[in-house]
Amino acid sequence: MVAVVDSSANSNIGGQLNSGVNESNLLSGNGTISRNNSGCGYVSSTTKAMAYEPPVSCTTFNILAPIYKRVDQKNQNLRESNFRAVWLSRNQKILNWLLHERSSIICLQEFWVDNEELVHMYQQRLGDAGYVTFQLARTNNRGDGLLTAVLKDHFTILNYRELLFNDCGDRVAQLLHVQLAFPFSQNREGDAQQEFLLVNTHLLFPHDSCLSVARLHQVYKILQHVEQYQRENKLNNASILLCGDWNGSKRGQVYKFLRSQGFVSSYDIAHQYTDSDADSHRWVSHRNHRGNICGVDFILLCNPNKSRKPLKKSWAEAVFGIIKCQLQKASLIENNAFVFLKPGDHGNFLTYSAFCEALRQVNLIGLPYGLTSEETEELWMQADINGNGVVEYEEFKRRVWNSECAELREENCSERTRDSENDTEEEAIGFNVKNAVLFPREAEKGMWPENYSLSDHARLTVVFSPVRMQCSQRGTSL
């Protein structure tokens, strides 16, 4: 089954698509997707794919809540929410585009949950188009939240959970356990039902570098919950899609942390971009309130044949990376940084009390959104490699200064040599990235068009196709 927009039911869309930017045929080519004959929606471009490999498309879009959209540069307190006709028109255009594209899955951030009229409009139009919707408000009545919409003819929702971080940013996340409604036929033992986990979230904006730990906390909580859910439901062979506005680029510790957990940026995979500095600025997806443009919106994929480091170890490496960045911002090089951390002439080693004091000076502890005492102790244990109660210079270099959340290469599990008697080979169904596009298209070239007014974010759509893979299951804990 392939999503196709009913031209009779959507005959009024074509005349309502004027958003100030023209969108051309975004996705085409063998094995990808393109517009159907009605001009609305997308279908697979190959008959074989339509019959045997129905694509799964996913769109993530921060739609800029009217309560945050500034309408007067001279009066920053004047927001779009004060002008009903304006926010209503803009959100109607957003819905027109979403229904025109008709992705299998839609993940929205900054959804204005406090406005009943807007909520009703989205629910009604998405519902009429065949979507089942889930919305979640941020805590402490912030006014906005998340909305996830799934085509109910394409998926069965096996479970839905809400993650409340209860932190300084009042951030939240949605977790959906999804099963494709159609069986996957390319299976040696017959048809199989593909299940995967879907997360929609919006991380805290890094108003200052001290909030890096808070943002890392949010991702850590998501992955902890995902791993717990996987264990409880025996879903080690399920793919994971993390969608949303991450408020951070590929150069940040959050992205590196996720890479160490086996996740890849679907957009970068589709365009064969790497994590190098040269490729880090090839595309953008957001122009923030400071006027800076950057790539912060991601659909991250983790297939079941991806190796994943122990979560706690990856988290510690990411925090050490933040500590290093804070020290570098203080213009400290490796040796000077170690001298800064240790007290006076107290030998060539670092004590726990000096470690805590240094973290306090770089604002990583002692603040509501900083490291907890338990987390600080865990970091200390990781840094003290030989367990003698102090951290020598070589340990500092290895654990802190040279620590990286190194990405793990994708392993072809069928070619792996077993190094444990506990290894068992199982078949799993994952996703191939077929194509990915950003709109407005200028964002794909690292530019931001002045005439784009739908949001301060670009819309990211990725197309996947199911693929069978052999995976070795090991007895290690997640």
pLDDT of residue 267: 98
Buried b vs exposed e over 201-210: b needs ≥16 C-beta within 10 Å? bbbbeeeeeb
Find the distance separating the first CA and the last CA of the chain, reported in whole Å. 35
Tell me the backbone φ, ψ of residue 222, rounded to 5 degrees: -60, -50
Between CA 168 and CA 174, with CA 173 as vertex, the angle to 5 degrees is 160
pLDDT of residue 414: 32
Q: pLDDT of 104-113, one tens digit each?
A: 999 999 999 9
Length in residues, the chain: 478
What CA–CA distance (Å, rounded) separates 314 from 405? 6
Residue with tokens 């070589």: 394
Nearest residue to 60 (alpha-carbon basis) of 148, 175, 128, 121: 148
Q: Is the pLDDT of residue 463 over 90?
A: yes
Contact of 308 with 220, CB cutoff 8 Å: no
Contact of 157 with 202, CB cutoff 8 Å: no
Between CA 33 and CA 52, with CA 468 as vertex, the angle to 5 degrees is 45
Query: Mean pLDDT throughout 423-448?
Result: 90
Question: Six-digit token pair at 251?
Answer: 């150069």
Q: pLDDT of 190-227, one tens digit each?
A: 566 789 999 999 999 876 666 888 899 999 999 999 99
Question: Does the bond joining 368 to the residue before it have cis omega, within 30 degrees of 0?
Answer: no
Which range has the worst mean pLDDT, 24-28, 233-237, 414-418, 425-429? Answer: 414-418
Nearest residue to 298 (alpha-carbon basis) of 279, 318, 287, 284: 284
pLDDT of residue 74: 81
Q: pLDDT of 185-196, one tens digit each?
A: 654 555 667 899
Residue with tokens 């998926």: 155
Query: Which SS3 state, helix, strand or coil, does residue 62 take?
Result: strand
What CA–CA distance (Å, rounded) separates 340 from 337? 5
Percentage of the residues of the chain whose pLDDT score is greater than 70: 76
Nearest residue to 54 (alpha-carbon basis) of 313, 431, 325, 368: 431
pLDDT of residue 405: 52
Question: 364: which strand partners?
Answer: none
Query: Which SS3 state, helix, strand or coil, does residue 250 take?
Result: coil
Q: Is the pLDDT of residue 182 over 70?
A: yes
Query: Mean pLDDT throughout 279-283?
Result: 91
Contact of 454 with 48, CB cutoff 8 Å: no
The DSSP code for 230 is: H
Query: Mean pLDDT throughout 287-309?
Result: 90
Contact of 242 with 267, CB cutoff 8 Å: no
Question: Six-digit token pair at 467?
Answer: 């693929």
Nearest residue to 470 (alpha-carbon basis) of 407, 408, 410, 415: 415
Nearest residue to 94 (alpha-carbon basis) of 203, 17, 149: 17
Which range has the worst mean pLDDT, 6-15, 166-175, 308-317? Answer: 6-15
Other Cβ atoms closer than 10 A to 216: 22
Q: Which residue has the higher pLDDT, 328 or 436?
A: 436
What's the alpha-carbon Rg for the chain, to the nearest Å?
A: 23
Query: Which SS3 state, helix, strand or coil, does residue 278 take?
Result: coil
Q: Work out whether strand 195-202 and strand 172-180 pair parallel, antiparallel, or are unpaired.
A: antiparallel
Between CA 203 and CA 307, with CA 217 as vertex, the angle to 5 degrees is 95
Q: pLDDT of 141-179, one tens digit each?
A: 999 999 999 999 999 999 999 999 988 789 999 999 999
Banded model confidence at residue 21, pLDDT cuts 50, 70, 90: very low
Banded model confidence at residue 2, pLDDT cuts 50, 70, 90: very low
- Mean pLDDT score across all residues of the chain: 81
Query: Mean pLDDT throughout 373-399?
Result: 89
Q: Which residue has the higher pLDDT, 403 or 277?
A: 277
Banded model confidence at residue 91, pLDDT cuts 50, 70, 90: very high
Query: Mean pLDDT throughout 49-71?
Result: 83
Residue with tokens 């264990």: 231
Banded model confidence at residue 366, pLDDT cuts 50, 70, 90: confident
Contact of 33 with 44, CB cutoff 8 Å: yes
Q: Report yes or no on whether pTM surpasses 0.85.
A: no
Q: Give the DSSP letter string of 165-193.
A: --STT--EEEEEEEEESS-B---TTS-B-
Residue with tokens 């931001």: 448
Other Cβ atoms closer than 10 A to 281: 14
Banded model confidence at residue 357, pLDDT cuts 50, 70, 90: confident
pLDDT of residue 101: 95
Banded model confidence at residue 26, pLDDT cuts 50, 70, 90: very low
What CA–CA distance (Å, rounded) separates 298 from 318? 19
Q: Is the pLDDT of residue 50 over 70?
A: no
Other Cβ atoms closer than 10 A to 263: 23
Buried b vs exposed e over 437-467: b needs ≥16 C-beta within 10 Å? bbbbbbbbeeebeeebebbbbbbbbbbbbbb
Q: Is the pLDDT of residue 340 over 70?
A: no
Task: Report which residue type is found at 335.
Answer: N
